[in-house]
Amino acid sequence: MSYLYPYFLFALFLLLIPVIIHLFNFKKYKTVYFSNVQLLKLIRQESKKKSQLKQLLILFSRILAIAALVFAFSRPYIPLSNRTTNEARQVVVLFVDNTFSMKAEGEKGQLLEQAKLKAIEIANSYRVGTQFLLQTCDLLNQHQFLLNKEQLIQEVTAINESSRSPKFSELYSRATKLLSTSAKKTEKTLYILSDFQKNNFDMESIQPDSSVYTYLLPFKTSNTNNLLIDSCWFEVPGKKINQHEKLFVRIQNRSDQAYQNIPVRLTINDSLKAISKINISGQEELTIELNYTNKTEGIQLCKIELNDYPIIYDNSYFLSYQVHGKLHALGIYNQQNNGSVYLKALFENDEMIGYDEAPESNVQISQLKNYQCIFLINNQKISSGFKTELASFVEKGGTLVVFPNRMANYDEYNSLFASVGGKLVAFFDTTAMALSEINYSHDLYREVFKKQENEADLPAIKGHVVFTDQMQKPETPLLKFRNGKNALSTYSFGDGSIYSFAFPLEKINFNFISHVVFVPTVYNMVLQSGAHQKYAYSTEADEPILLANTLHLNELKIINLQTNDEFLSSVRTIASGKQQLLLDEVPRDAGHFLVKDDYQPILSVSFNYPRKESVAEFYTNDELLRFTQADKFKQTQLIESTDAAFSETLQDLNNGKQLWKYFIAIALFFLFCEMAIIRFWK
């Protein structure tokens, strides 16, 4: 047994008072005169014995009553845990898990509402003057300050579900850091009210603070069915007008229940574009295909959704992209060996591609940024300044196609290839070599040919360059010679792509130009050119948002299309010369956001909730109990009882089994005994 106020035990010296009073009462006597004392002696002796017994009983009753009162004021208790301190000042941290998984239904209603009620009940179990600290998954700034009981209850009542689910080790570290600013002689207690979902409760990573005693309060959900959209992606990255799109949607069934004829809808700019009905078995995953055509230019806001209850946050997926009306390509040619005429004939009067050409001696470098694809056609000279601009053009998302010229010295070509991480040219081989292989799996040729032939009748090339085997960047072969060397390969540099031919585009190779493989090769290079677009972002990951165009802007307006809320933002230029959109914080809600320069939309950004909350895996009470039994969790205890006697359980856990009530009852009992002896003992 321990005592909250042990100094009150010195009051046991008060027990001397009734003893002294009792001793003085024995010395008092009266003389009674009586004629015949023989009978009186016997009566007096009997009365004296009874009187002494009565006085002793009264004395013992008083002593025991006073002793019981002294013990009651010293607040005795039996410790129910290994807490070693019980300071007068207390700081209590309440962590209320408000992730999406807490929206599930339990036996007594929604888990989040249960947790909020228990948090208020915990607060009410503490005495006036206790300070509180509230923590949630939102990591809000206002939750960094100590609160009194009334302020805490007000904050707890305002808690809503959050799309964020940070690791618990991060939350624990934040809470203990805030507690470290408290006074030294302070009792610190942390309550964790959660469903203890495994994806974010990394108990192994926690380094417990020995000065903080922790209680775990688990809330259990009933088996909840959940059908969700896990992810979406396009077959082809480029987005052009009148382009046929294939959108793939991965759907997961996180329950044992089978679903039949569930519609999956695709809306673009609030117009229904595609719909598909699915049948999915329990614990199954399937991928469906939604088809449509880009009919309009500009920003396209896509939303894929299905109907499922009660977990609804993962029923939708948001995507957005921009469709360009016409792509622009530039051919820079050698006047002595002009192969640009073949490209000009291909792109002339094309509705989707505009083609311009310029001789290598008269290139306006400042205009390169207006093109998505640049062809170097049999160039004789590549100046150092031009090389630098080409490398910057590719790094920012452009596409560069190189047809090398027949030359004796390739130093200028090699300088360009070295700046973008490509293979260097060793020499020009005049030997004719036939093409033998097409990479049908690459985006350039996928679905171009109805029949994929390994022994296709491909043209022969009369002379080609030989590249060194030294490779700076991994490249993908697209066309191969019979000797296994690459006739056409591609590799990336920055955000752009480079297509490197091993032969010139000239009349001597007209059999290649007139072959069926030429048109889709060159045409798709332009169609797939331009900066790659980011279709979707996560509300949890702080990914950089880059502007597609190089704009000279200082301040932009961002509009939440779900709520029509507007807020200002700005841009900054990063190391690569690109401009990054700056947000004060990542949006907490999924949906579409429109970036405007004055009244002109320039970018769309779509955010989605992370799907890890959809994985319904939780720690059981037995698993949590095993954690608390580990050496480093000696100051941690699991509370399994959340019934009507919860407040009493909290009191006992915090202060031990309180015995002062029993001592008060004992004191009252002996006081009544004393009164009864005095009144009824004659």
Q: How confident is the model at residue 576 (pLDDT cuts 50, 70, 90)?
A: low
> Which residues does residue 605 pair with via DSSP β-bridges, in sequence order?
593
Task: Please tell me the CATH code under which domain 328-527 is placed.
Answer: 3.40.50.880
Contact 130, 92 (CB under 8 A): yes
Domains 90-223+616-655 and 537-607 share a fold: no
Q: What is the mean pLDDT of the chain?
A: 85
The yes-or-no verdict on residue 292 having pLDDT over 80 is: yes
The yes-or-no verdict on residue 326 having pLDDT over 90 is: no
Which contacts of 466-474 are long-range, i.e. CB under 8 A and separated by 24 or more positions?
Answer: 466/425, 466/426, 466/427, 466/428, 466/429, 466/502, 467/423, 467/424, 467/425, 467/426, 467/502, 468/423, 468/424, 468/425, 468/426, 470/423, 470/424, 471/423, 472/418, 472/421, 472/422, 472/423, 473/421, 473/422
The yes-or-no verdict on residue 542 having pLDDT over 80 is: no
The yes-or-no verdict on residue 553 having pLDDT over 70 is: no
Token pair recorded at residue 135: 């923590």
The domain locations on the chain are 2-79+660-680, 90-223+616-655, 227-324, 328-527, 537-607
The yes-or-no verdict on residue 642 having pLDDT over 80 is: no
The yes-or-no verdict on residue 485 having pLDDT over 80 is: yes
The yes-or-no verdict on residue 79 having pLDDT over 80 is: no
DSSP string for residues in 29-46: ------S--HHHHHHHHH
Residue 335 has a CB neighbour count (10 Å cut-off) of 12
For 315, which DSSP code? S
When mean pLDDT is compared across 2-11, 396-405, 416-425, 508-517, the lowest value belongs to 2-11
- Residue 236: the pLDDT is 76
- Residue 535: the pLDDT is 92
Question: Cα–Cα distance between 400 and 390 in angstroms, integer?
Answer: 8
The yes-or-no verdict on residue 81 having pLDDT over 60 is: no
- Residue 608: the pLDDT is 94
For the chain, give the longest Cα–Cα distance: 164
- Residue 513: the pLDDT is 94
pLDDT in tens, 402-456: 999 999 899 999 999 999 999 999 999 999 999 999 998 888 887 777 677 766 7
The yes-or-no verdict on residue 145 having pLDDT over 80 is: yes
Which amino acid is residue 245, in one-letter code? E
Q: Provide the b/e sequence for 2-38 (b: ≥16 CB within 10 Å).
A: ebbeeebeeeeeeeeebeeebeeeeeeeeeeeeeeee
Distant-in-sequence, close-in-space partners of 33: CB < 8 Å, separation ≥ 6 = none
Fold of 90-223+616-655: Rossmann fold (3.40.50)
Task: Count CA within 13 A, CB hemisphere, residue 383.
Answer: 8
Secondary structure class of 544 (helix, strand, coil) = coil
Q: What is the mean pLDDT of residues 143-159?
A: 92
Q: Is the domain covering 537-607 a CATH 3.10.20.30 domain?
A: no
Task: Count CA within 13 A, CB hemisphere, residue 197.
Answer: 20
Distant-in-sequence, close-in-space partners of 519: CB < 8 Å, separation ≥ 6 = 346
What separation in angstroms does the CA of 465 have from each of 408, 427, 428, 601, 605? Answer: 11, 6, 4, 46, 44
- Of 281, 285, 279, nearest to 252 (Cα)? 285
Distant-in-sequence, close-in-space partners of 608: CB < 8 Å, separation ≥ 6 = 317, 318, 536, 537, 538, 539, 590
Q: What is the mean pLDDT of residues 279-283?
A: 93
- Give the ranges where 473-600 is alpha helix by DSSP (H): 510-513, 518-527
pLDDT in tens, 37-55: 555 555 555 566 666 777 7
Q: Is the domain covering 227-324 a CATH 2.60.40.10 domain?
A: yes
Q: What is the mean pLDDT of residues 594-599?
A: 83
